[in-house]
Amino acid sequence: YNNGIHEIHVDDDVSPSKKPRSRGLLRSLFCCLCSKESEPPSLKSNAPLLVEENGSPSKVPAKPLLPQLNSSDAGKICVVIDLDETLVHSSFKPVNNADFIIPVEIDGTVHQVYVLKRPHVDEFLRRMGELFECVLFTASLSKYADPVSDLLDKRGAFQSRLFRESCVFHKGNYVKDLSRLGRDLNKVIIIDNSPASYIFHPDNAVPVASWFDDMSDTELLDLIPFFERLSKVDDIYGALQQQRTSS
C-alpha cells in the first residue's frame, strides 16, 4: 500500500448503485486505490503530477518545493512527516469516537471523512516543532489534508505543507522525492509508514508502523527521545544507520 487513506471499504461506504462511481471518486481523493490497482492518478484530482520519464524519476525542477529556510531555523534538520496512518487514520465509514469530521466535496457531492488522531500525536508534534523545521508531506489531496492539518496542528509545528501534486508518480506509487525540497539531504529526515514513499531516499527514513485504531499505541511517544538526540547530531546518516542496526 502506498501512503494515503488505506482503510476504504467501498462496499460499506456506498449504496450498490453507486459503487463503481464512488470507487473512482475515492481514487481521485486518496491514493491507496490508485496504487493498489497500478493505475495512473485520476485526472479529476487537478494535480499536475510529475511522472517517470524513460523509467527514471522526472528531472528536479528549478524551483524547490520549500521556501527559503528562515534564519531562525538555520542549522536545523528538516523533518518531513507523513499524515495518514502515521499521525491520523481516516475513513468514510462513520466512527463514533472520531476526533474530527471533515466535509470534503468530490464532484459536487459532499462526503464526510472521519478522522482519528494517533495517541500522543499532540505531544509529538509539539516537541518536533520545537526541535526541527517540520514539513507535512502527504500523497492525499489538499482538499482533505489541509483541513485535517488545520485541526491537528494547533501549535503550528508544520512550517510548510506539501500534498499530492508535490509527489512523483513512479511505478504505481506516489513518491516523496526529498531532493526536490531545496534542503541539504544531509539535513533531511522523513517519517512515514509507507516504504514506497521514500523509495528514492531510504537512508533518510525513520519508518513507523501503520496506525489505524489501536488507542494503546505508543509509537509517537517512544520516538520523542530518539528525535531529541537526533536534533543534536551532525551526521544524520550515521545516527539513522545506528538506529536501524540496533532496532
Is residue 82 annotated as a catalytic residue, yes or no?
A: yes
Set 11, 13, 73, 84: catalytic member: 84
Q: How buried is 184 (Cβ within 10 angstroms: 0-12 exposed, 13-18 middle, 19+ buried)? A: exposed
Is residue 235 annotated as a catalytic residue, yes or no?
A: no
pLDDT at 74: 85
Residues 178 and 188 sit within 8 Å (Cβ to Cβ) = yes
Set 12, 13, 82, 235: catalytic member: 82
Beta strand 109-117 pairing with 88-91: antiparallel
pLDDT at 36: 32
Taking alpha carbons only, the member of 136, 236, 245 closest to residue 187 is: 236
pLDDT > 60? residue 5 = no
Residues 30 and 105 sit within 8 Å (Cβ to Cβ) = no
The better pLDDT of the pair 36, 199 is held by 199
Query: What domains are defined for the chain?
Result: 10-47+72-246 (3.40.50.1000)
Q: pLDDT-based confidence at 7, cuts 50/70/90?
A: very low
Average pLDDT over residues 181-196: 96
Average pLDDT over residues 67-92: 93
pLDDT > 90? residue 154 = yes
What pLDDT digit, counting tens, does each position of 38-59 carry? 333 332 333 333 444 444 555 5
